Chains A and B, each alone.
Chain A
Amino acid sequence: MMNDYTGVLIFLIIAIGFVAIMFSVSYVLRPSKPDLKKLLPYECGNIVNEDARGLVSVKYYLIAIIFVLFDVETAFMFPWAVVFRDFGMFGLIEMAIFLLIILIGFCYAWKKGALEWD
């Protein structure tokens, strides 16, 4: 019953087995003498000077979200513009409704101060 997928299973086993063998062989063969310098995180050869988990202002996130929103809007309009002739009036009205909804959302974001930095 599972014949069709036996190949996938064998592939999975080989993939996992290959990685496991590679890691274990190199673990057995290589010398292991860790010191402080070796255990430091590698950052292009520079000396690490800061914690990687630095804080970024949440305002960037808000701006990014609004940007993505309008990016997606254009992404929607592009295929619509390509087949615009086939859709005719129907497509035009649909797109107008879509833009109107986006516009109201934009006005809302603007009025609520999402576009202001402070």
Chain B
Amino acid sequence: MEQLNYLSLLPEIVIILAGILVIAADLIIDKKDNIISEVISVLGLIIALFLTGNQFLNPEIISQNNMLISDSYAVFFKVALIILSLMVILISSHHIRERGITHRAEYFTFILFATVGMMIMAGSLDLVTVYVGLELMAISIYILVGISRTEFLSNEAALKYFLLGLLATAFLLYGISFTYGMFGTTNLVVIKNFLQNNTTANSGYILVLVFLVIAFGFKVAAVPFHMWTPDAYEGAMTPVTGFMSVGPKLAAFAVLGRVFVYSLLTLKAEWTLILTIVSILTMTVGNVVAIAQTNIKRMLAYSSIAHAGYCLMGLVAAGGLAGSLGLQSVLFYLSGYLFMNVGAFSIIIFLNKKGISGSELDDFSGLNERYPGIALMMSVILLSLAGVPPTTGFAGKLYVFMAAVKSKYMFLAVIGVLNSVIALYYYLRIIVYMYMKKPADLKEETNRSVPLLLVLGIAVVAILVLGIYPEPVLNFAKSAAGGMF
């Protein structure tokens, strides 16, 4: 038996340890209003971030029995996921006290466990490991969605997400079993080699592709597997919504990239066709339905569906002539999307009033008169989501469209641009509400915690920096994507 290499697993081990410590500390410390959970979580994540950074600086590609790998592709996603987790913990700290969540330790533990699950997905070299990581992520997030146990909406959201998530898991397992039937293995490296040596077409391959697209389409909320998204996003507590709108998407795109682009590249004629259709549907439905929303969380849910569509376009391009440029554009897009979404949800948390969620469109009326700084930050975030320069949303879209054009998917890029125009309407509507409407009521907002404002500031700065000077992240994404070809 080959021994495991614990050194390359250290980030995951540290986060798991931190999660267990949070639970243990909650047992020992009885004081009502302690912040020990937050402290342990943040410390654990920072240590893990340093360890992952160390993997980046000393890139030894180590695989664990061909099940898990820590190449630069995995490290890229791991860094993004740890940053996401850190930001979410900082923005939830104050909010969960206001919402009266009694099981605080559980909340932080499940965020940490979900992060580890996503990190495992990002580094998986075997479909079985993908499955294990996916379940660790999914089960933790089901619980997080339903953590406000006394609220009806939260229960509804958790149940819907759980049942539909179960269905997606079933599809994934069915797909994995077909993979095993077709290739005699679930290992992605072996599958890649098998396909390179056996070029005869087999109609069963399409079955595998379809099942995997359904399973991961559900996780990235691609149309037509998006039905759960608005309800789950609306019902979940806002920091959880921020977490689940970014984390599973990052992890699922990591897996999609590794499975389709790395392992099944020889079948690209088939999967690019499937993903092209899904991408067009996802962009269009997401953007068009978002216009009709008056609840900001639902609107952001549909907007996140649309963003998944743009990313899928990059993935399609990765299967075409653009090659690694396509995958690179997806990675860059996702890194910007991380800051945009966490920023947007932080602002909803900021506007959270006692008893009211603060996520209706009217809550933004005249925000400029009440909090000019917050209104300005929201404008930057919204313009970035819409894809206006000089923000990361613009840069990301630029690279994705560029990759699509390079792969001769001109029509896909045109549809993408048209969709960006539609998107501009509903993002700008919020800005109009903030600057041109009179404030509806002047009830004082309660959430002005320092960590929240810190995260908000970091998100806005990151959006601008990634938009103006994208080179470092772009190079990182390039080296990560390059390893997949």
A104 and B201 contact, CB distance less than 8 A: no
Which A residues are CB-close (under 8 A) to B203? Answer: 1-2, 4-5
**Minimal beta-carbon separation of A86 from chain B (angstroms):** 8
A111 at the interface (CB under 8 A from B): yes
How many contacting A-B pairs (Cβ < 8 A)? 23
Q: Secondary structure at chain A's binding surface: helix, strand, loop or mixed?
A: helix
Q: Which residue of A has the minimal Cβ distance to B16?
A: A101
A108 at the interface (CB under 8 A from B): yes
Which B residues are CB-close (under 8 A) to A87? Answer: 1
A105 and B201 contact, CB distance less than 8 A: no
A108 and B201 contact, CB distance less than 8 A: no
A107 at the interface (CB under 8 A from B): yes
Chain B CB within 10 A, most for which of A1, A87, A107, A108: A108
Q: Which residue of B has the minimal Cβ distance to A112?
A: B103
Which A residues are CB-close (under 8 A) to B24? Answer: 104, 107
Residues of chain A from 73 to 118 with CB closer than 8 A to chain B in the complex: 86-87, 90, 101, 104-105, 107-108, 111-112
B27 and A111 contact, CB distance less than 8 A: yes
Interface size band for B: 10 to 19
Q: Which residue of B has the minimal Cβ distance to A1?
A: B203
Which A residues are CB-close (under 8 A) to B121? Answer: none
Question: Could you tell me the distance between the alpha carbons of A101 and B24 in the complex, rounded to whole angstroms?
Answer: 10
Bitwise, B18-31 to A at CB < 8 A (1) or not (0) is 00100110110000
Question: Could you tell me the distance between the alpha carbons of A112 and B20 in the complex, rounded to whole angstroms?
Answer: 16
**Minimal beta-carbon separation of A94 from chain B (angstroms):** 10
**Minimal beta-carbon separation of A9 from chain B (angstroms):** 12
B27 and A1 contact, CB distance less than 8 A: no
Q: Which residue of A has the minimal Cβ distance to B105?
A: A108
Question: Could you tell me the distance between the alpha carbons of A90 and B1 in the complex, rounded to whole angstroms?
Answer: 11
Which A residues are CB-close (under 8 A) to B20? Answer: 101, 104
The interface of chain A, by Cβ under 8 A from chain B, is 1-2, 4-5, 86-87, 90, 101, 104-105, 107-108, 111-112
A to B CB contacts below 8 Å, 23 in the list: A1-B201, A1-B203, A2-B203, A4-B203, A4-B204, A5-B203, A5-B204, A86-B1, A87-B1, A90-B3, A101-B20, A104-B20, A104-B23, A104-B24, A104-B27, A105-B23, A107-B24, A107-B27, A108-B23, A108-B26, A108-B27, A111-B27, A112-B103
The interface of chain B, by Cβ under 8 A from chain A, is 1, 3, 20, 23-24, 26-27, 103, 201, 203-204
Given contacts A1-B201, A90-B3, A101-B20, 8 further A-B contacts (CB under 8 A): A1-B203, A2-B203, A104-B20, A104-B24, A107-B27, A108-B27, A111-B27, A112-B103
